[in-house]
Structure 1
Amino acid sequence: MIGCRNDLHEIKAIDNDKVLPVSTTSNVEMIYSDSSVMKARIKAKLRETYMNEPSYVEFSKGISMEFYGPKGKVTSRLTAGHAISYNAKEIMEARNNVIVTNDKGERLNTEHLIWDRKANRIYSDVFTTVTSPDKVIYGEGFESEGDFSKYKIRNIKGSVRLKH
């Protein structure tokens, strides 16, 4: 004779509602385009797709992006230790040592950044440093064109002029 017993606490421990990806891909390269015009290229070591609400794609091992201008040239680059892309909202959140550089030699450092693909904007509400060839500006948040060509630093905390 064989018998079974189901302990409700043991079942709940096994079924802990952990969200798992529906697909996992390593060493990924993706292209974002609009009306057949390439806007950005993304490279990541790991890409995980989740279909829960809201659905999203997670890049938990870092991300590297190149943004392209209207003539097809790279105008800026972004790297981050972690990123999540929400397809329905058309935004991507980048975190952990986020660095954005542009073709004018300017560099943005922050810990959290949002890229709004629809509006072609990047922005943040946390501490931000922008370094240009002649100065460093510190502020609490910023807003920029998607290619980091024109930007506004909010709540400026200070600036330092650089001598060469």
Structure 2
Amino acid sequence: MDLFEKAAILQYRHRRIGDPGRCVGWCSTDSQRLRFDVLCRVGDTSDSQTLATSVSTMCPSSSTKRAGAMVIFHAPDLCRPACCTPFFQMDYVLASGVLSYRCRNALYPYKAIRQMWEAATRGPGFNLLAANVFEASHVLCGQNQHAILAFSRTLDPAAELVTGSVTDDFTLLMRRRAA
């Protein structure tokens, strides 16, 4: 992302901060819970270290709280998942919203997905806005779910595409196989 793209994102977020009805990606409390519940299907998060990067308010589900998972909520470097920091390792890396910003670099989401895969010892889960449903704005854009799935399957042949939980996005769950 270039400086102008980051500035546009900062301005966009600044205008929406403090108003839950206008937070990035926020449709309702229920949609946020659904997003997080789907992301948590990536694996057994009990007794694990999970990094959840999010540009919107992501609420841990009651099932995650009951499981006793350690979930770290981290405000990402605007558009870069925290897991992109070298040598950063967690059991699971979950991302909601950080891959939905418009970027001149069309490879940005693919690079971020690879970095999440490399940082997650058990696997990443992430959701993106669906290009076939979401109408792009000057800051947000959707992604082609089939292209993202095809790329994800180069890393994890069993990557799972989840659709239908929230109308304008899709989720991908990737899991490392036990050696």
Higher relative contact order (CA 8 A, sep 6+): 2
The TM-score by the shorter chain falls in which range?
Answer: under 0.3
Q: Which has the higher strand share?
A: 1
TM (normalized to structure 1)? 0.28
Q: Which has the larger radius of gyration?
A: 1
TM (normalized to structure 2)? 0.26
